[in-house]
Chain A
């Protein structure tokens, strides 16, 4: 827990609850989690256990009630909206179940979008990503013209293009069939390993979770 051996992601005592009309539901009750550089971690748990919420908090998309998230030593609680956006831009890569590509832009523009936005574009790395993800022939296409597996590969490429410290993935293969899922995840693991970033993946599949370095389970608002 000391600052010296801090990982790319350090979560301590994180709490988050949602207020509905009649009651307050505590989703996270003091989560502690650490992901080291180059480490890949699968976050599992039942439906509604708060996996996605945790991921959103890490990405700075939402604010926690208590506890602390540090990304590469930077405490998210100390950042304002713009700071969190910069953090996402520069340090994080996000992959969602629904791919969430930008439909009006071509594959190539999608791939480059975040890296160029963050001014972290690296032509060699871009070429390598394109090759490894097998997107060389698809660069001029638009997302709607791609299969689900292809779209998710673009999403992974886009997230990794700025060489983030941490790749966050929320059920990245949830919309894919088993074979495609395995292939996409294999690519993701390879590229994560190649770039040396941390990898935190939310999944409900024990089979996929088993392919990562470490598995943690979120249960009753805590990580066991």
Chain B
């Protein structure tokens, strides 16, 4: 039984931890792949000032001026209705640090660069295209593409060919989209002396780095993994403790036979390590399945939130397995450290000292109470002084550890109170005995408290987010139809055509320019002055007549994220580097922009096109009589051959946003459930562990005349009562956690703050779930007691034990 408990604890600890690690690793691996596609975000680049393509002569000129640059041409092609990114690279000059250039064997360089060339493709994309390696797909424009070649490390939805071949496919002869800048030193001529003002450098640290953006998401996952891991270790700790108690006589016998303490300990450590290895492997297998099950949701979240493409197939590195085993072994040893130390110090002779549990417990409770006060103080200090995401999580951690430590003293008080007010002997015993059991159950109860508090906290946060987000979404998606034209010409054609349609009430063009502002990429978003926005667009803060202020083009609304990051408020002025000089804007409003990793500045559309004349004017929304939306969409689609990506109605966009949103928290919810489950197992194992040592306490009552059934019922009631008190304590803690998540962690991680709301029904539900978990955990040991044969109890009274 102890073995099973021990293994369960180790397996669940390892499984959740390594499952989360597998997810993180998979995601990081994907970012690496994304970054590795030849000047993803990790390489410094030179791009045209206007963002467009430029002649490859600039590449040659720069090389000849000492610049270690490598050209890339990029565009999109359609294969069988799928739109794919086509990258043309130059493998010979590709900087080594630009990521993993395609692994071309020596014979393949020629095949890659000489027509027809080779088209490198990720395994996922190859299977999505339903093509075999070596096949030559046909682009939608009828062009025969180079033979496909599998490239494991490539990111999905990207095709890579030689630059010369890409120029031909994209019909961009002699043109390049950007130049990757290698780190190779050497004397470089000044950029302007070679390229004039045509090119501008992009530093490699630009915030489009997925890894940085998604850090908070992974920190969140890791925090859950860690929590589960510790809960699992609670189980191991209690199991090892029990096993040790049970083997005390044997250990004494061995010691008295002359086995040294060191040798005994060595054997015990080896035994632990063996268990840890077995359980670690099993845990890793479970972790793998957990990760595989959660991966689609994680991938959806990351794609929705950050645009990061994570393949749905789980691939794991050997390091993951090794790290998982290592953490299982270390965890097992840490959890059994106390017992091992006891074994070393074990006196050969059993001392007949009475179990002074009461004094020991009082000391222990005092110590815990003091520690918890100290840790709460640390949490308060961190809250006051900390300004980073890590500090936010540290506040959370301190809050939870403090609460966990405070739990036993608080329970003690409550139970003492109960003992004080009850008069019936069995009732007094009920409270008094619960108090005595506290030291044995406290670890499991702490686990329950933490799991429950986190559940309450996260559920509250998700629900708060959900409500706020949906209201916000309704306001932001005010147009009925969204159109993204292929280019300015098509855009003009569509708009001209739309003006003749009676059901179209308004055409609302939007524009977007990307700028570097205060070191980060920021979107400048242009909207026209229209009642649609005035009536729907939700503003968090605004000057009076804000919408009127926006009109002349010297004022802007900024997103909450940007305001928080740069500590900007209403009335402040900002200078935007526009194509036509610096653009000074006064902040007239701040709005929520949930889910956008970039900061956003909203300005008047006409002003935007004045300052950024080169931006594509291809996006616009339409106000349409709702009933006529499907008909209009069908008409536009037929007339202008737009696909689903370029034409969407409000309902579809909203549904998509909601779907992304829901999946974002599906992972959190699943991990939540796992954590609660593990806490339940911890409670079960603790109760099983206690059950055996409790017989001497129960047998006298039986002898005095309390039936086994009654005893069992009281025992069940005791567990439920303690669990209920714990659950009730978890509620305020959980709400504190929720507040911390909303007001500290989210703000730091995402840049937005959501209103804090309490959802009582949800709390009742969670307490119910906790009680159910406690009931299941308590049932087995209690049933065993109720059915125990008298002989088992009589043994307690035997004179020779």
Chain A residues in the interface with B (C-beta under 8 A): 52, 56, 59, 61-63, 81-82, 85-90, 94, 96-98, 100-105, 109, 112-114, 116-118, 142, 144-145, 158, 170-171, 174
Q: How far is the CB of A204 from chain B (nearest CB, A)?
A: 10
Interface residues of B in 402-432 (CB under 8 A from A): 424-426, 428-429, 432
**Given A109-B432, A113-B429, A89 and B705 contact (CB-CB distance below 8 Å):** yes
Q: How far is the CB of B30 from chain A (nearest CB, A)?
A: 57
Q: How far is the CB of A111 from chain B (nearest CB, A)?
A: 10
Neighbour of A144 across the interface among B356, B426, B791, CB < 8 A: B356
**Top 4 nearest A-B pairs by Cβ distance?**
A89-B705, A104-B432, A88-B705, A100-B700
Query: Which A residue's beta carbon lies closest to that of B431?
Result: A104
B residues near A101, Cβ cutoff 8 Å: 700
B residues near A117, Cβ cutoff 8 Å: 425-426, 704-706
Neighbour of B432 across the interface among A82, A90, A105, CB < 8 A: A105
Docked CA distance A63–B424 (Å):
30
- Contact at A114–B705, with CB atoms within 8 Å? yes
The range of chain B's interface size is 35 or more
**Given A61-B793, A109-B428, A103 and B355 contact (CB-CB distance below 8 Å):** yes
Answer whether residue B497 sits at the interface, using C-beta atoms and an 8 A cutoff. Answer: no
Answer whether residue B354 sits at the interface, using C-beta atoms and an 8 A cutoff. Answer: yes
- Contact at B708–A81, with CB atoms within 8 Å? yes
Known contacts A52-B797, A89-B704, then 18 further A-B pairs from the complex at CB < 8 Å, ordered by chain A residue? A59-B703, A61-B703, A61-B794, A81-B709, A82-B707, A89-B706, A90-B705, A94-B703, A100-B797, A102-B429, A102-B432, A103-B355, A109-B429, A113-B704, A116-B425, A144-B354, A144-B356, A145-B358
Neighbour of B433 across the interface among A104, A144, A158, CB < 8 A: A104
Answer whether residue B436 sits at the interface, using C-beta atoms and an 8 A cutoff. Answer: yes
Answer whether residue B319 sits at the interface, using C-beta atoms and an 8 A cutoff. Answer: no
- Contact at B425–A170, with CB atoms within 8 Å? no
A residues near B699, Cβ cutoff 8 Å: 100
Interface centre among A102, A171, A174 (most CB of B within 10 A): A102
- 6 inter-chain pairs at a CB distance below 8 angstroms, sorted by A residue, are A61-B703, A104-B436, A104-B697, A109-B428, A144-B354, A145-B358
Docked CA distance A81–B425 (Å):
21
Chain B residues in the interface with A (C-beta under 8 A): 354-359, 424-426, 428-429, 432-433, 435-436, 696-697, 699-709, 790-791, 793-794, 796-799, 801
Q: How far is the CB of B394 from chain A (nearest CB, A)?
A: 39
**Given A62-B794, A113-B429, A103 and B704 contact (CB-CB distance below 8 Å):** no
Neighbour of A88 across the interface among B357, B424, B704, CB < 8 A: B704
- Contact at A85–B707, with CB atoms within 8 Å? yes
B residues near A85, Cβ cutoff 8 Å: 702, 705-707
Interface centre among B359, B432, B700, B709 (most CB of A within 10 A): B700
Query: Which A residue's beta carbon lies closest to that of B423?
Result: A116
Docked CA distance A98–B797 (Å):
7
A residues near B707, Cβ cutoff 8 Å: 81-82, 85
**Given A104-B697, A117-B426, A96 and B790 contact (CB-CB distance below 8 Å):** no
**Given A52-B799, A61-B703, A117-B426, A103 and B708 contact (CB-CB distance below 8 Å):** no
A residues near B424, Cβ cutoff 8 Å: 116
Docked CA distance A140–B287 (Å):
53
B residues near A96, Cβ cutoff 8 Å: 700, 703, 797
Docked CA distance A56–B798 (Å):
10
Docked CA distance A96–B704 (Å):
11
**Given A59-B703, A104-B429, A105-B429, A170 and B797 contact (CB-CB distance below 8 Å):** yes
Docked CA distance A135–B706 (Å):
25
A residues near B359, Cβ cutoff 8 Å: 144
**Given A101-B700, A104-B435, A86 and B357 contact (CB-CB distance below 8 Å):** no
- Contact at A112–B425, with CB atoms within 8 Å? yes
B residues near A87, Cβ cutoff 8 Å: 705
Q: How far is the CB of B795 from chain A (nearest CB, A)?
A: 11
- Contact at A56–B425, with CB atoms within 8 Å? no
Docked CA distance A61–B790 (Å):
7
Interface centre among B355, B426, B790 (most CB of A within 10 A): B790
Query: Which B residue's beta carbon lies closest to that of A97?
Result: B799
B residues near A98, Cβ cutoff 8 Å: 797, 799, 801
- Contact at A113–B425, with CB atoms within 8 Å? yes
Docked CA distance A170–B793 (Å):
16
Docked CA distance A205–B336 (Å):
46
Q: How far is the CB of B413 from chain A (nearest CB, A)?
A: 16
Query: Which B residue's beta carbon lies closest to that of A63?
Result: B790
A residues near B796, Cβ cutoff 8 Å: 100
Query: Which A residue's beta carbon lies closest to that of B437?
Result: A104
Docked CA distance A101–B797 (Å):
12
Docked CA distance A87–B706 (Å):
10
- Contact at A56–B794, with CB atoms within 8 Å? yes
B residues near A174, Cβ cutoff 8 Å: 799
B residues near A170, Cβ cutoff 8 Å: 797, 799
A residues near B700, Cβ cutoff 8 Å: 96, 100-102
Interface centre among B426, B428, B708, B799 (most CB of A within 10 A): B799
- Contact at B799–A171, with CB atoms within 8 Å? yes
Q: How far is the CB of B693 from chain A (nearest CB, A)?
A: 12
B residues near A144, Cβ cutoff 8 Å: 354-359
Query: Which A residue's beta carbon lies closest to that of B699?
Result: A100
B residues near A59, Cβ cutoff 8 Å: 703
- Contact at B704–A56, with CB atoms within 8 Å? no
**Given A97-B799, A142-B358, A102 and B697 contact (CB-CB distance below 8 Å):** yes
Docked CA distance A192–B796 (Å):
26
Docked CA distance A112–B796 (Å):
22
Interface centre among B424, B432, B704, B708 (most CB of A within 10 A): B704
B residues near A81, Cβ cutoff 8 Å: 707-709
Docked CA distance A209–B428 (Å):
38
A residues near B354, Cβ cutoff 8 Å: 144
Docked CA distance A170–B424 (Å):
28
A residues near B355, Cβ cutoff 8 Å: 103, 144
Docked CA distance A144–B356 (Å):
6
Docked CA distance A120–B793 (Å):
26
A residues near B709, Cβ cutoff 8 Å: 81
Q: How far is the CB of A47 from chain B (nearest CB, A)?
A: 9
B residues near A145, Cβ cutoff 8 Å: 358
Q: How far is the CB of A56 from chain B (nearest CB, A)?
A: 6
B residues near A62, Cβ cutoff 8 Å: 790-791, 794
Docked CA distance A171–B354 (Å):
20
B residues near A104, Cβ cutoff 8 Å: 429, 432-433, 435-436, 697
**Given A81-B707, A89-B705, A109 and B358 contact (CB-CB distance below 8 Å):** no
B residues near A142, Cβ cutoff 8 Å: 358
A residues near B433, Cβ cutoff 8 Å: 102, 104
Q: How far is the CB of B422 from chain A (nearest CB, A)?
A: 11
B residues near A88, Cβ cutoff 8 Å: 703-705
Q: How far is the CB of A207 from chain B (nearest CB, A)?
A: 18
